[in-house]
Amino acid sequence: MKPHRTDGIDPAARSRARRRALQALYAWQVSGTSIPMVIAQFQNEQDMEIADLEYFEALVKGVSSHCAELDERLTGYLDRTIDQVDPIERAVLRMASFEMLHRLDVPYRVVINEAIEIAKRFGSDHGHTYVNGVLDRAAGEWRPSESGNSRR
């Protein structure tokens, strides 16, 4: 029997929302379609009732509206320009960065683990190791008290 969560968050529905958000962000990056249109397409075409729709929208809208900031914040952790990063890994990094920087209610370990799993599922063969390395270094600076890197 699974423990009952009292905060109302369904981790499985959140995971599905992240997977859908990755697909929507990838489509947005590649096609240049407006965010409202991408969201509408995914709501119509995807099986969204099993995903956390509010979280899906928050991720897609958050990444798109903070994209320049996210790219700038990621720059110091990348070994190439953001445009040279594989489009799937780029979308994963942007989404995870948004969660780490703007969704402090989500523990950084959850953000990193979810990003790795999504990169394994949709990214290149070793894309998940790249994503893990970038996010692990970023977490040390972006969430120092959580990651144990706080300077006292």
Q: What is the mean pLDDT of residues 49-77?
A: 93
Whether 6 is covered by a domain: the verdict is: no
Q: Is residue 2 in a domain?
A: no
Tally of domains within the chain:
1
The answer as to whether 123 is a domain residue is yes
Q: Is the pLDDT of residue 22 over 90?
A: yes
pLDDT confidence of 4, banded at 50, 70, 90? very low
Judged against a pLDDT cut of 60, whether residue 98 lies above it is answered with yes
Structure-token pair, residue 84:
């040279």
Q: Would residue 19 count as lying in a domain? A: yes
pLDDT at 145 (0 to 100) = 86
Domain that holds residue 125: 11-145
Q: Give a yes or no: residue 98 inside a domain.
A: yes
Residue 21 domain flag: yes
Does 62 reside within a domain?
yes
Instruction: Tell me: pLDDT of 1 over 70.
Output: no
Question: Does 112 fall in a domain?
Answer: yes
Q: What is the CATH number of the domain that holds 88?
A: 1.10.940.10
